[in-house]
Structure 1
Amino acid sequence: MKALIDVIIIALDIFWWVIIASAILSWLIVFNVVNYSNQIVAQIDQTLRAITEPVLAPIRRRMPNTGAVDLSPIVLLLGIIFIKLVLSYYVRPYVF
């Protein structure tokens, strides 16, 4: 059971970095630091969105409209932290 929880925690760590990369790339595109007409940039953006949108879209639907600021990645990152804490408690109880 410990091995399965460790694999889940590693997958959550990888997903954490994918969410951060997606947010940073979206900022770089919005502020015109990278050119979206570049095929490599567009492909990376499409791939990151394909990975993160299925999880971020339901969060966006439930959150109030904040205008141009998208807070759904922050909510998702906080959720990942919570899940990792709960799972690590079951692997190593009473370590906190």
Structure 2
Amino acid sequence: MLSLFQILLLILDIVWFFIIAHVIMSWLINFQVLNLQQQLVGQIWYMLQRILEPLYDPVRRILPNMSGIDLAPLVVLIAVYALRIIIQNNMVYFL
């Protein structure tokens, strides 16, 4: 059972990394440091979009329109961190 919790924590860590990478890339694209016309940058960006949009969409439906400010990544990051805390604190009961 401990192995399942560790695998779940690993998946949450990977999601955390993808969200941070997506946020940093979006800033770099908006400040024109990165260009989506470059093949590698475009592929990484669209891969992150495909992975993270299913997580962001339900949050965006709940959050009010902030006229250009997207708080969905922040809410998802907080949710991932909260899940991580819940799993870590309750792992002891399943040993």
Structure 1 residue 25, shift from structure 2 partner: 0.6
* Deviation readout 1:16-44 (Å, 9 max, x if unpaired): 00001011111111111111111111111
CA shift, 1:92, in A, is 3.5
- The equivalent of 1:64 in structure 2 is 64
Residues 25-40 of structure 1 mapped to structure 2, 5 A cutoff: 25-40=25-40
Q: Distance in 1 between matches of 2:66 and 2:43?
A: 28
Give me the identity figure in percent.
Answer: 38
Taking the TM superposition and a 5 Å limit, the aligned residue runs for 1:6-45 are: 6-45=6-45
Report the TM-score, using the length of structure 2 for normalisation: 0.93
Which of structure 1's runs of 4+ aligned residues deviate more than 6 A? none
**What's the counterpart of residue 5 of structure 2?**
5
Task: Give the match for residue 83 of structure 2.
Answer: 83
C-alpha RMSD of the superposition: 1.0
User: Alpha-carbon deviation of 1:61?
Assistant: 1.0
Distance in 2 (alpha carbons) for counterparts of 1:46 and 1:24: 14
* Stretches of structure 2 lacking an aligned partner (at least 5 in a row): none
